[in-house]
A = this chain, B = another copy of it.
Amino acid sequence: MGAVAHDNEVLLLGLLRQQSQHGYQINDFIERNLSRMASLKKATAYALLERLREAGHISAVTVQEGNRPPRQVYTITPSGQERFATLLRHNLSTHAAAPAGGDIGLMFLDQLPRQEAVACLSERLESLQQQLREYEAVPTHGPAFGVDLAVQRMIVSLRAEAEWLASTVAALASSPD
């Protein structure tokens, strides 16, 4: 993708907005707590932080505690605050336009022998239900906010997809070849 989504940028700015941090810390947090929602990788995060610093959206100071490795501690700047607000508004206002994913295969479903198609979709259904169970097991913190909201949305979406897929598989399995 080009400069369409900016998901990673919002993520980093958002985290830095809540608290100044160094790269390792940010990455750690994402891996531990946001692995389901975010796909930002370590090397990408470091590079993006550097780009954001160059752009003036965050500032960096080198901090060394004792003999530990020196850290680049990043802090969001006023320019970054603005950027964050702009990106967030845009991100919230816009629904990921096009191709959702996983649809291309469906278009060619009839190019596979019926039985095989049913088998494949059944497998998909199972992994879908597994994912759903995982999201449903995520503990929530009372009224839906922050991450909880994103989890909720994921659940609703997965549930709808699972239901549709189940009925599609059923229809497919009982129809003539």
Residues of A within 8 A of B (CB): 5, 7, 10-11, 14, 17, 34, 36-39, 84-85, 88-89, 91-112, 116-117, 120-121, 123-124, 127-128, 131, 143-147, 149-150, 152-154, 156-157, 159-161, 163-164, 168, 171, 175
Q: Which of A11, A102, A104, A164 has the most CB of B within 10 A?
A: A104
Task: Identify A157's interface contact among B117, B145, B157, CB under 8 A.
Answer: B157
* Contact in complex: B37, A104 (CB < 8 Å): yes
Partner of A143, one of B89, B108, B147, B175: B175
Known A103-B150, A104-B150; further 17 A-B contacts with Cβ < 8 A: A10-B104, A37-B99, A39-B98, A88-B111, A88-B112, A91-B102, A92-B105, A92-B106, A93-B124, A95-B161, A110-B146, A144-B168, A149-B168, A156-B160, A157-B157, A157-B161, A160-B161
* Alpha-carbon distance A14/B112, docked complex (angstroms): 11
Minimal beta-carbon separation of A165 from chain B (angstroms): 8
Q: For residue A14, which residues in chain B have a CB less than 8 angstroms away from its CB? A: 104, 107-108, 111
Contact of A37 among B103, B153, B157 (CB under 8 A): B103
A101 B96 Cβ-Cβ under 8 A: yes
Residue pair B121, A105 in contact (C-beta under 8 Å): no
Cross-interface CB contact of A95 among B112, B131, B152, cutoff 8 Å: B131
Query: Which residue from B36, B39, B120, B161 sits with its C-beta under 8 Å from A153?
Result: B161
- Asked whether A102 lies within 8 Å of B111 as measured between CB atoms, the reply is no
